[in-house]
Amino acid sequence: NAGVTQTPKFRVLKTGQSMTLLCAQDMNHEYMYWYRQDPGMGLRLIHYSVGEGTTAKGEVPDGYNVSRLKKQNFLLGLESAAPSQTSVYFCASSFEGGYNEQFFGPGTRLTVL
């Protein structure tokens, strides 16, 4: 089992460019999450999904969109990147939401110039 994988691992964008981060899990988990981690800010939830075809806003959703067309994949899109979106992005999944553990991907380090 690969667990949770994220692509790409690193990316540099110019302000205004767009990109999509891909998260994939092979554990048949219903719940998937996108977080961003910034120094001194801890882990902040961007968007999440409670099942295929569903999405919901987290704590910091502005500037991001997500899609969950397949149960195993959760995509995070930046339509027009801004320097404030420079961060490390983590995807996670869990079987039963907050009732049990989350499994995290290795992260994507994004720099927006």
Partner 1 sequence: SQQGEEDPQALSIQEGENATMNCSYKTSINNLQWYRQNSGRGLVHLILIRSNEREKHSGRLRVTLDTSKKSSSLLITASRAADTASYFCATPTGANSKLTFGKGITLSVRP
Q: Which residues bind partner 1 (CB under 8 A)?
A: 4, 31, 33, 40-43, 45, 48, 50, 56, 58, 90, 92, 97-107
Neighbours of 98 (CB within 10 A): 8
Tokens of 95: 């079987």
Q: Which is nearer to partner 1, 58 or 77 (CB)?
A: 58
- Minimum CB distance to partner 1 smaller for 8 or for 106: 106
CA distance 39 to 57: 22
Is the Cβ–Cβ distance between 110 and 85 less than 8 Å? yes
Q: How far is the CB of 80 from partner 1 (least distance, A)?
A: 26
Question: Which residue number, 17 or 72, has a Cβ lying nearer to partner 1?
Answer: 72
Find the shortest distance in angstroms from Cβ 8 to partner 1. 15
The DSSP code for 98 is: G
